[in-house]
Structure 1
């Protein structure tokens, strides 16, 4: 096992988890009272659980945390808030919702890849024995399915020619 490369890989995912957690928390707050906010509140808890498991895997493999990468992820998440999405300087627009859900979809796809890679590594690495990576993959796939559904609805809303309430479908034409 190439511990150096695995350490870089796992720290990249740990940094990504920081970004994803911050994004899910902020987007849940900005979507409070609609289906997106409701789901993201639940997702945030699951993302915290995944991060805890990833930290456990890293400790078990004796991979130290890269604080610089985590700090950079936090800074990027903070700066991302300044990107205009049609809601004014600090506002939240229907496009913001689409972009947040899209970023969470991308991160979830990355977690699926990571869990699958670790599942394969567990076949030869005794320190990973007993971790149910298949369950991690299944949970992330279910999360992705829900995120994709919400993202498509958010896209319908954002790009509709008529105003549509968040979490609902485009009016019939």
Structure 2
């Protein structure tokens, strides 16, 4: 099915696939730091959110395009190949950039849940209560990411200017 809604949901699923990969990488890279526990929780929730999106798509008889899902996975991997001041090792700035990217992704996810909620009275298969819960979780995730991003930036930028 290639309706505008199917395309929209497939695009969000592609983003969710990249988001799961990035969230897991963030959790792994910070496992021994103060951000480790909240990032592990975030990674689990982001994976759950992708499952919820997939269920919603199934209810609407929308299948994620395989090439899009693979594209999201590849896109996340390609994003690692950025100039960050270091060629081989992970640069301290990488955490700030990755947290910011994850924050933007989660804010996009929240916007998607809000939009679907607005359509719930017009499209069978959209459950407003579920969409409210998913949106509220995304808002909480964004708050956590913003706090972690600011902490990481303070650490990185003040360390480099001492």
TM-score normalised by the chain length of structure 2: 0.92
Pairwise mapping of residues 136-147 of structure 1 onto structure 2 (< 5 A)? Answer: 136-147=134-145
CA distance in 1, matches of 2:87, 2:159: 23
Give the conservation status (yes or no) of the 8 Å contact 1:81–1:90. no
Residue 57 (structure 2) pairs with residue 58 (structure 1): yes
Give the conservation status (yes or no) of the 8 Å contact 2:117–2:127. no
Aligned equivalent of 2:73:
74
Instruction: State the aligned residue count.
Output: 162
SS in 2 for 1:126: coil
Question: Bigger radius of gyration, 1 or 2?
Answer: 1
User: Structure 1: where are the runs of 5+ without partners?
Assistant: 165-173
Residue 7 (structure 2) pairs with residue 4 (structure 1): no
- C-alpha change, 1:90 and 1:26, in structure 2 (3 Å) is farther
TM-score normalised by the chain length of structure 1: 0.86
Q: CA RMSD in A?
A: 1.9
Aligned equivalent of 1:113:
111
User: Structure 2: where are the runs of 5+ without partners?
Assistant: none
CA distance in 2, matches of 1:95, 1:48: 25
CA distance in 2, matches of 1:162, 1:103: 22
Q: CA deviation at 1:131?
A: 4.8
Match of 2:148 among 133, 150, 157: 150
